[in-house]
Amino acid sequence: MAKYILKRFLWMIPILLCVIIVVFTVMYFTPGDPAMAILGNSYTPESYEAKVRELGLDKPYIVQLGNYLINIVTKFDFGKSYMNNRSVTTQILERLQPTLIIGAVSVLLSQLIAIPVGITAATHHGKIQDYTVSSLCIILAAIPGFLLAVFLMLLFCLKLNWLPAAGITNWYGYILPIVCSIFGPLVSSCRMTRSSMLEVIRKDYIRTARAKGVSEHDVIHKHALKNALIPVLTMLGMHLGGAMGGSILVETIFTVPGLGILMKNAIYNLDYPVVEGCVIFVSFIMSLLMLLTDLAYAAVDPRVRDQITGGGKKKRRKKAAQSMEGIAA
């Protein structure tokens, strides 16, 4: 297992290098001039030339890319923001906490709700519980996120005055962003759990377990759920990865100073170092989460675990060798 994890970490290096090169190249060729964006109305040809030199934008593409790669590899330095001259790394680390909290809590809560509800819908297939869950999922999927956010804001902030409309100066401020962020993962995980469970509970081994007299609770939670969880785990990894990048919509509406709004403002202001830094950081997090997802598969499915560790083949060979020795003896 340790070898596998190490191998995956080593694979991350070329992947991230590719991401860096692709992101840098895309930003380089994106229309727009950051020097002019910074100068705005105070543009003069002289100030423009000075600003271009200051930002290093007068150098050829390959030189800029080389300098950027060297800085990242040797100093983990993503450069400085064109807009406020602060270190990109510092800004990302500052903005990380709110995004992590909202992302992690919303995904966790969504799974805590979605999995039991999905199981209920699957085990009561064709009944009122199933129809209710399916209908609710469709309704929640159809409502645009920004509409939901504004509705919640008007209800809980304006009418009831229970919660702040923006900012996260205390834990109250996290509630509405988390609630808005829950619905997306909740709907998809619920539906995936339901369909996956429906597929699994029709298998022969489930019928066998019931025939053996195993309780319905154990049939569902010990035998069916583990097998049904694998596609749900895949979705969980994707939801977590998306959440770590920050929700631009939620962070903008509720003024959460997270990664999403940092990226949005950087794109709007043509602040290339910040955009590049954020994308690379999110790619790194996604790679880590994909690794964790694969390890979760191994925890749930022994076949995957054996494949990863190679333990299955070795054990079988050892057993075969022992039995041959026994026969020979």
Partner 1 sequence: MKKYLALFLALVMVFACTACTNTGGNAGTTSRTLTIGTNNDVTIPFDNTNATNVNGLGLCYDRLTYLDPYTGERVSNVLDDWYYEDNLHLVLEIKDGVTFTDGTALTGEDLIYTYSDEVARGGNNANNLSNFDWDNATVSADGLTVTIPTFEEYAPGIVSLNSWIENKAFDDVHSVDDEIWWDTVQGTGPYYCVEQVGGAYSTYALRDNYWGSEEYEFDTITFKYYSDLTALFIDYENGAIDVALNIGSYNYEQITSGNAKDTIAKLEGDGNPISLCLDYSRVEAWNNPLVRQAVAYAIDVDSLGVAGFEGLYKNNGSVIPETASYYEYVGEYEFNLDKARALLAEAGYADGFSFTLLTYEKYEDMAVALQDMLKQIGITVELDLGQFMPQLKRMLAGEADAIFLNGTTDNNGEPSLAYNKFITPTDNVPAASVLDAGWNALIASSYSLDAAAREKVVHEIQESFYENVWQVALLEKCEAWCYYDNVLSADFEAYVGGVPTFRVLK
Could you say whether residue 325 binds partner 1 (CB under 8 A)?
A: no
Q: Could you write out the DSSP letters of every residue in 48-64?
A: HHHHHHHHTTTS-HHHH
Give yes or no for a contact between 194 and 121, defined as CB atoms under 8 angstroms apart. Answer: yes
User: Residue 107 or 290: which CB sits closer to partner 1?
Assistant: 107
Q: Which of residues 40-59 bind partner 1 (CB under 8 A)?
A: 41-47, 50
| 293 touches partner 1 (CB under 8 A) | no
The nearest distance, CB 165 to partner 1, in angstroms, is: 4
Task: Considering only the stretches 33-41, 190-198, 226-234, 292-300, report the one whose residues sit in contact with partner 1 under the rule CB under 8 A.
Answer: 33-41
User: Does the protein bind partner 1 through residue 74 (CB under 8 A)?
Assistant: no
Told to check if 64 binds partner 1 by CB under 8 A, we report: no
* Distance separating the N- and C-terminal Cα atoms of the chain: 35
Which tokens is 260 given? 């999403």
CA distance 69 to 82: 18
* Nearer CB in complex with partner 1: 10/29: 29
222 near partner 1, rule: CB under 8 A: no
Question: Cα–Cα distance between 237 and 234 in angstroms, integer?
Answer: 5
Site string for partner 1, 103-142 (x = CB under 8 A): ----------x--x---x----------------------
For residue 257, the Cα-to-chain-centroid distance in whole angstroms is: 18
Stated as kind and residue range, the H or E segment containing 283 is helix 272-300
Burial 157-188 (b: 16+ CB within 10 A, else e): beeeeebbeeebeeeebbbbbbbbbbbbbbbb
> Using CB under 8 A, which residues numbered 77 to 106 contact partner 1?
80, 84-87, 90-91, 94-95
Binding residues among 238-267 for partner 1 as defined by CB under 8 A: 251-255, 257-258, 261-262, 265
Question: Minimal CA–CA distance to 195: which of 112, 118, 120?
Answer: 118
Query: Which residues of the shown chain bind partner 1 in the complex (CB under 8 A)?
Result: 32-33, 36-37, 41-47, 50, 80, 84-87, 90-91, 94-95, 113, 116, 120, 150, 153-154, 157-158, 161-170, 172-173, 175, 251-255, 257-258, 261-262, 265
